[in-house]
Structure 1
Amino acid sequence: MKRFDAWMTPSRMLWASVAVALVTIALKTVAWWLTDSVGLLSDAMESLVNLASAVFGLMMVMVAARPADDDHPYGHHKAEYFSSGFEGILIIVAALGIIWVAANRLFDSQPITQVGWGLALSVGSSVLNGLLAWLMFRAARQHRSLALEADARHLVTDVWTSAGVVLGIALVSVSGWLWLDAVVAIGVALNILKEGWQLIWRSSQGLMDEALEPEVLAQVNSVLASFANLHGETGGIRFDHLYSRQAGQRRFVDLHMHMPANWSLGRAADLRGRLEQALMSAVPGLRATIQLLPSDVEAHFDDARDLK
């Protein structure tokens, strides 16, 4: 299993998403052609969005993997936020298209034919999407990839879409109320709109340098506290002005480390190096920038001129 987890890199998972999207598009298009169900048509339209999202996500993951350069000294990790935002926009566009088609069909109901084959194809595609989403969530947690998480959430939305469509077709078959097909399609589209908005919101927060998660900051503070206690007998060190941000898979913290003024530069630099190693061991993917200051020197960031 560990070997399989190592194989599930973001790029490989997104290539798998592209392949699955092509298969599900074919299955759902045939299902719509057989049944003439607007619900299945909406399902097929969302699979087209899945394909576009997976391709764009793959492009952004490749950009994010590029090493730092002169123009981007902190790396290209934020590219994954563009993938999430783009996917959210596509989801919203697809949802609006579904609502438009379903609203027209609501006043011009059409009979649904060959329900059995249509439902079988739709369920088969949902199983594929559900399995891939489970694997992508697992890989997203392992690699801290927002692009993978966004694609996985979209696939889960697709599964719920298919479930709603299957329910709608089943209700039409039992009740004979053809308008139920369009109503279910509209309900599914509203759910998709919500998912699209959440993806756009999360990507925007990442682009605005959101702070690290509370549990991660707690790990950072725990390491700092242990270092402060360990060196308390030799004059003491303390930390302040701790700031954090995250950019895709990478995490950053900036802080000041105050120490006795009579310490040599070599001793201070050695302690800083050990602290950086401890922080990076406690929080994978962390990059720490630590400024050394004597205990009696304070840094001021609240200059009134900077607040204007």
Structure 2
Amino acid sequence: MAFTLLNRLHMTTNQTPNTLSPSSVALLSLIIGCLVLGFKWLAYWLTGSVALYSDALESFVNIAAALVALLALRVAYNPPDKNHPYGHTKAEYFSAIVEGVLILIAAVLIIMEAWERLFSPVALTEVGIGASVSLIASVINGLLATYLIWQSRQHYSPALRADGLHILSDVITSVGVLLGIGLAWLTGWWWLDPLLAILVALNIIWMGSHLLQHSVGGLMDESMSDNELQPVYDIIRTEMRGAIQAHQIRTRRAGRLSFVEFHLVVAANMPVQEAHSICERIEQALKQALHHAIITIHVEPESELEKTGFIVNPKI
């Protein structure tokens, strides 16, 4: 029965209306990433700017991350099988972890390149043309990041969200680089170029660390956030009419799936059909609120009442 429920969920998540499949979105990200890399590398080649070099190097990371996301999403959307009865959705977290590691490697390479130039500044060439080319790349990236984040909400996809946030951060740093290069060109302070590259690298390190933290939390079956938990509590409290107590509520996320399980205490003489109806009512309300959710309810007699009351803290 568990296989049947998860397979139905797999089918419905692949039939989201008016949206591309997650794999198609990742493929689109990969193609556009290659286009943006071409623009950014051209900007670096025209100017010789180490800051633009750092921007172009981050595009290499974007391409690698999009490729990993594409592979992970194809695994994540495979239906449950005998060896993976809960599905393959956690594959998306591996994608985000690989992306975080690649980001950190890129940051180290940028700092190594910029450090020497910081003490031996070099005047840039073709700044106007190079900056224009880089600006075009940033606009394309901005549109792509917005689209990826929107699609990640449609599919509840950590991999697409990580990719979108990474590219959005790339856009922000690119704008900062362009402003800094413009200032260096106007003032002749060419040391601003490698300094900006180092600042970009530090921002990339922060972003990579954040991605790793979020992904590791998913792999470690971290509970839903407090903002997500409160509606779960409210729904159970509202829909458990006829039951006596709900306790040991535990939640976790695995990619696009949400898992909620708890114990429901009912009267010892309650008919099985009546207890089942209460559980069905709670399940339907939770699935409507959480979308792709797997609900497990363990029914207990009133002798199993706990002193902790309605809810046991799920993080203990």
Give secondary structure in 2 for the equivalent of 1:40. Answer: helix
Quick check: 2:19–2:151 contact (8 Å CA) kept in 1?
no
Quick check: 1:272–1:290 contact (8 Å CA) kept in 2?
yes
Structure 2: distance between partners of 1:210 and 1:274: 26
Structure 2: distance between partners of 1:262 and 1:5: 46
Give secondary structure in 1 for the equivalent of 2:122. Answer: coil
Structure 1 gaps of 5+ residues are 301-308
Structure 1: distance between partners of 2:297 and 2:81: 22
| Residue aligning to 2:256 | 249
Give secondary structure in 2 for the equivalent of 1:70. Answer: coil
2:34 to 22, 25, 39: 22
| Residue aligning to 2:193 | 181
Structure 2: distance between partners of 1:23 and 1:280: 40
Quote the RMSD (CA, aligned, Å): 1.9
Q: Indicate whether 1:293 and 2:300 are aligned.
A: yes
Give secondary structure in 2 for the equivalent of 1:6. Answer: coil
Per-residue CA deviations over 1:158-198 (Å, capped at 9, x if unaligned) read: 11221122122212211112211111111111111100110
Quick check: 1:92–1:193 contact (8 Å CA) kept in 2?
yes
User: What code does the residue aligned with 2:223 have?
Assistant: A
1:202 to 202, 214, 220: 214
Structure 2: distance between partners of 1:178 and 1:291: 67
Give secondary structure in 2 for the equivalent of 1:7. Answer: coil
CA drift at 1:90: 0.6
| Residue aligning to 1:278 | 285
Structure 2: distance between partners of 1:176 and 1:297: 77
| Residue aligning to 2:247 | 240
Q: Indicate whether 1:165 and 2:172 are aligned.
A: no
User: What code does the residue aligned with 2:43 have?
Assistant: A
| Residue aligning to 2:115 | 103
Q: Which deviates more from structure 2 when the two are superposed, residues 192-201 or residues 266-275?
A: 266-275
Quick check: 2:262–2:297 contact (8 Å CA) kept in 1?
yes
Structure 1: distance between partners of 2:285 and 2:189: 65
Structure 2: distance between partners of 1:5 and 1:72: 27
| Residue aligning to 2:129 | 117
Q: Which deviates more from structure 2 when the two are superposed, residues 164-173 or residues 80-89?
A: 164-173
Structure 2: distance between partners of 1:294 and 1:160: 57
Quick check: 2:286–2:293 contact (8 Å CA) kept in 1?
yes
Q: Indicate whether 1:86 and 2:98 are aligned.
A: yes
User: What code does the residue aligned with 1:127 have?
Assistant: V
Quick check: 2:107–2:201 contact (8 Å CA) kept in 1?
yes
Per-residue CA deviations over 1:135-178 (Å, capped at 9, x if unaligned) read: 11111122211111111111012112211221222122111122
Structure 1: distance between partners of 2:126 and 2:290: 55
Give secondary structure in 2 for the equivalent of 1:242. Answer: strand
Quick check: 1:84–1:199 contact (8 Å CA) kept in 2?
yes
Give secondary structure in 2 for the equivalent of 1:56. Answer: helix
Quick check: 1:39–1:168 contact (8 Å CA) kept in 2?
no
Give secondary structure in 1 for the equivalent of 2:304. Answer: coil
Q: Indicate whether 1:64 and 2:76 are aligned.
A: yes
Quick check: 1:5–1:139 contact (8 Å CA) kept in 2?
no
CA drift at 1:70: 1.3
| Residue aligning to 1:148 | 160
Structure 2: distance between partners of 1:269 and 1:7: 36
Q: 1:182 to 1:5 in 2, by over 3 A?
A: farther
> How does the TM-score come out when normalised to structure 2?
0.88
Q: Which deviates more from structure 2 when the two are superposed, residues 164-173 or residues 116-125?
A: 164-173
| Residue aligning to 1:12 | 24
Identity %: 41
Quick check: 2:239–2:278 contact (8 Å CA) kept in 1?
no
Q: Which deviates more from structure 2 when the two are superposed, residues 263-272 or residues 14-23?
A: 263-272
Structure 1: distance between partners of 2:149 and 2:20: 11
Quick check: 1:219–1:283 contact (8 Å CA) kept in 2?
no
Structure 2: distance between partners of 1:45 and 1:297: 60
Quick check: 1:13–1:136 contact (8 Å CA) kept in 2?
yes
User: What code does the residue aligned with 1:13 have?
Assistant: V
Runs of 4+ aligned residues of structure 1 deviating over 4 Å after TM superposition are: none
Structure 2: distance between partners of 1:280 and 1:81: 23
